[in-house]
Amino acid sequence: MNNPLKLFSWLIVCIYIVIFTGWLMNSPILFSLWGVIGWLMVTAAGWWIQKLIYGSSLTVKILLLLNYFMIFLIGLTVFIYVATSSMP
C-alpha cells in the first residue's frame, strides 16, 4: 500500500464507518450544520479519490460500494427529515 491515494481511501472508509455509526445513534453532531457539511465533503472526497485510483482493486470496490451507501444514507436522511417536518 505504497500509493498515498489508497491510504487516503482507507481513511475515508474509516470516516464512513464513523458516519454510519453516528447515523445509527442519531448523533446531534452529525446532524448539525457543520456535521452535514462535513458529511457531504467526505462523500465528495470519496467520489473524487475513487475516480483517481485506477484499476479494479479491492480498495476501489469497497470505496465505490461505500460511496453509494453514503448517497443512499443522505437521501434517506432527507426523506426522513421532509416526512417528519411535514407532520402536524
Residue appearing with cell numbers 421532509: 82
Mean pLDDT of all residues belonging to the chain: 89
In tens, the pLDDT along 27-68 reads 899 888 999 999 999 999 999 988 888 777 888 889 889 999
Q: What is the rounded CA–CA span in Å between residue 10 and residue 7?
A: 5
- pLDDT given for residue 42 in this prediction: 94
Spatial contact of 9 and 63, defined as CB atoms under 8 Å apart = yes
Say what the pTM is: 0.85
Using CB atoms within 10 A of its CB, is residue 1 exposed (0-12), middle (13-18) or buried (19+)?
exposed
What local confidence, expressed as pLDDT, does residue 40 receive?
93
29 is written with which cell numbers? 453532531
Q: How many residues does the chain have?
A: 88
Distance, in Å, from the CA atom of 77 to the CA atom of 55, rounded to the nearest integer, reads 32
